[in-house]
């Protein structure tokens, strides 16, 4: 449907990206999921059409992009129904913004052009084995030693953690609490860094890892921002991440809806197509209703962000709205497919396995509710 928020430029990029997904991702999504990875060359191909550079400074190879261009990118990628590919291919959208925003000029000039050209992979490392969303209480320690920091600790559930060339890592440089948290750029070949690949319920094509830092010496110039300012940078990063996740989840829900409609028209039971059974038609309408509501909320929030607002509570609620819509539509789609929905290879089955990671990543559903309530003064 036409929306007042999208211009001809948005539509042109949507067409370009749709062709890219149909040619370079969709035909291989199942194969890559089963293999547990996708070709590294996909980063370069994505960079060539401008996908990786969206929203980053032009001086480093980026492309100016508003909130709606980001929505287009997230939602067109989701059409392949391969969340693991999207997550790792776009891990730089959470790993590199802190670099672009707060790293030293020489670090930006060295790192960002390579990432945005698809030559290097960027990842964000915050979560630890002992805690996820409680960023203020992380334990990975970075001790200053001359012109280096010595980093010791662990990070886990890190998207692109296996292959990342650049890791934006939350560390403790000071005392307890948020004021002791800083960000460091740690290069993938740093001595003392080792990685353990993790197996997951979904997102099979996305490499996910536990990172082990055993006395890693990191140049002090790799500090992102000032010491003790890492928590603020991380929190700012979360808003963008949650909007991106909300856009993707709404689109994944729409993929489930589209697959369910197509199957319901084709599959016959009791002498007629599934779509002619009232109970199936009602399921499909319920799915369509939730997708439409989520998309409308998403676009209105994007418009408010473009006006300079910072609606943190609504962004948290938006993430929950989108993940709940995705969960509902994935479940109903698999139910409509019946036994076929339990078989590997269809988009709805993959998406069904990927529901929970979205409800957990970027801040759990429970934390989103608590943060939203605090923003509301409760």
Catalytic residues, by residue number, are: 241
What are the backbone angles phi and psi of residue 169, rounded to the nearest 5°? Answer: -115, 130
Report the alpha-carbon distance of residue 253 to residue 81 in Å, rounded: 10
224 phi and psi angles, rounded to 5 deg: -100, 115
Question: In the numeric block, which tokens belong to residue 250?
Answer: 């709404």
Say whether 38 sits in a helix, a strand or coil.
Answer: coil
CB atoms within 10 A of CB 39: 12
Number of other CB atoms surrounding residue 15 within 10 Å: 12
d(CA 219, CA 215) in angstroms, rounded, equals 13
Any idea of the CA torsion for 185, 229, 247, 131, to the nearest 10 degrees? 80
Secondary structure tally for the chain: helices H, strands E: 13, 10
What is the token pair recorded at 51?
């996908």
**296-301 contacts: CB < 8 A, separation 24 or more?**
297/321, 298/71, 298/243, 298/246, 298/247, 298/250, 298/322, 299/3, 299/5, 299/68, 299/71, 301/243
CB 357 within 8 A of CB 88: no
- The three-point CA angle 9-89-86 to 5° equals 75
Token pair belonging to 302 = 């994007």
Q: Extract the tokens encoding 6.
A: 């999208």
């Amino acid at each position: 449907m036409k929306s007042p928020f999208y211009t001809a430029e948005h539509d042109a990029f949507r067409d370009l990206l749709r062709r890219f997904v149909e040619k370079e991702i969709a035909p291989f999504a199942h194969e890559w999921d089963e293999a547990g990875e996708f070709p590294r060359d996909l980063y370069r191909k994505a960079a060539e059409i401008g996908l990786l550079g969206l929203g980053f400074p032009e001086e480093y190879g980026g492309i100016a992009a508003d909130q709606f261009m980001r929505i287009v990118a997230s939602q067109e990628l989701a059409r392949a129904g391969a969340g693991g590919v999207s997550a790792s291919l776009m891990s730089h959208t959470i790993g590199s913004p802190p670099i672009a925003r707060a790293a030293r000029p020489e670090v930006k000039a060295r790192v960002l052009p390579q990432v945005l050209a698809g030559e290097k992979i960027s990842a964000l490392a915050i979560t630890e084995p002992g805690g996820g969303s409680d960023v203020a209480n992380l334990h990975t320690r970075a001790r200053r030693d001359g012109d280096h920091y010595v980093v010791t600790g662990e990070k886990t559930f890190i998207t692109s953690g296996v292959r990342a060339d650049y890791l934006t890592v939350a560390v403790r440089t000071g005392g307890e609490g948020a004021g002791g948290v800083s960000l460091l750029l740690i290069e993938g070949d740093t001595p003392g860094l080792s990685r353990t690949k993790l197996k997951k319920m979904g997102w099979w094509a996305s490499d996910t890892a536990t990172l082990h830092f055993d006395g890693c010496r990191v140049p002090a110039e790799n500090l992102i921002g000032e010491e003790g300012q890492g928590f603020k940078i991380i929190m700012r990063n979360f808003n963008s991440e949650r909007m991106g996740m909300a856009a993707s989840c709404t689109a994944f829900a729409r993929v489930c809806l589209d697959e369910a409609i197509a199957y319901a028209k084709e599959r016959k039971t009791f002498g007629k197509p599934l779509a002619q059974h009232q109970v199936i038609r009602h399921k499909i309408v319920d799915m369509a209703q939730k997708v439409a509501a989520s998309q409308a909320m998403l676009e209105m929030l994007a418009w408010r962000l473009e006006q300079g607002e910072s609606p943190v509570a609504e962004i948290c609620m938006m993430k929950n709205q989108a993940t709940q819509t995705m969960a509902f539509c994935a479940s109903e789609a698999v139910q409509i497919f019946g036994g076929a929905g339990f078989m590997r290879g269809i988009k709805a089955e993959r998406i069904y396995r990927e529901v929970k990671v979205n409800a957990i990543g970027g801040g759990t559903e429970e934390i989103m509710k608590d943060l939203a309530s605090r923003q509301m003064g409760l």
